[in-house]
Amino acid sequence: MTYVLVPGAGGDGHYWHRLAPLLGPDTVPVTLPAADESAGLAAYADTIVAAAGDATGITLVAQSMGGFSAPLAVERLDVRRLVLLNAMVPRPGETFNEWWGTVGVPEQPDWDEGRIFFHDVPAEVTEDLYSRGEPQQADKPCGEPFPLEAWPDVPTSAITGRDDRLFPESLQRAYLRDRLGIEPTVVPGGHLVALSNPEGLAAALQNG
């Protein structure tokens, strides 16, 4: 089995560096062209396909904004399972920018990245990430309508971080049920659970 890991906004494949070794040597962390102002969702899909190469038996994992890009690559790869990890689930024609209001993401009292994203990430891991520089996310894919007419015809499951402060567990349960008719597996951890609880996440992926 090959795990192909698609990151969220910022597109940094390094996000998966604590999880990937736990999933085996065939694991492929994808780095998306998120800083490229000319790259849209089609380019993101092309990047995922190129990174996967000729891999077979793929479990395709989509983190957060990866819910907009990973599904676009399904029909071009030998995907056996699509796993949504604290991920956005778009409807046909919906944009990233529209999605937040449509599903009712709660407003943050202040945009404090430490409080929202890193509250459960070990300090040394957080420091390492910040030393790499903050990933940039171009605007182009955020305004593009999700181009698929229907969700890909592939078994789809979801893993939700119990302590996610961006997309709370109750919200994820609601839109996963409404849009895909599925219930998530819940693991301890926040939005960046691959950094805060890689062991728990690996177990959920391997046992799912």
Cα–Cα nearest to 103, from 90, 85, 92: 90
**Cα-Cα-Cα-Cα dihedral sign, residues 89, 33, 25, 78:** positive
pLDDT at residue 134 is higher than 90? no
Residue 1 — very low, low, confident or very high, per pLDDT cuts 50/70/90? confident
Q: Where are the beta strands (DSSP E) in 17-105?
A: 28-29, 58-63, 79-85
pLDDT digit string, tens, across residues 139-159: 999 999 999 999 999 999 999
**Cα-Cα-Cα-Cα dihedral sign, residues 184, 134, 165, 138:** negative
Amino acid at 29: P
CA dist 55 and 5 (Å) reads 13
CA dist 47 and 53 (Å) reads 10
pLDDT digit string, tens, across residues 94-112: 999 999 999 999 999 999 9
How far is the CA of 64 from the CAs of 1, 4, 25, in angstroms?
A: 23, 15, 24
**Cα-Cα-Cα-Cα dihedral sign, residues 193, 42, 175, 100:** positive
CA dist 3 and 1 (Å) reads 7
CA dist 31 and 46 (Å) reads 11
Q: What is the domain partition of the chain in residue ranges? A: 2-207
Pick the CATH number of 2-207 from 3.40.50.1820, 3.40.50.720, 3.90.45.10, 3.10.580.10: 3.40.50.1820
CA dist 60 and 67 (Å) reads 11
CA dist 208 and 201 (Å) reads 10
DSSP state of 61: E
Q: Which residue has the tokens 């040394």?
A: 124
Percentage of the chain beyond pLDDT 90 is 97
pLDDT digit string, tens, across residues 143-202: 999 999 999 999 999 999 999 999 999 999 999 999 999 999 999 999 999 999 999 999
Q: Are 169 and 186 in contact (CB under 8 A)?
A: yes
CA dist 20 and 31 (Å) reads 13
Residue 64 — very low, low, confident or very high, per pLDDT cuts 50/70/90? very high
Q: Are 170 and 99 in contact (CB under 8 A)?
A: no
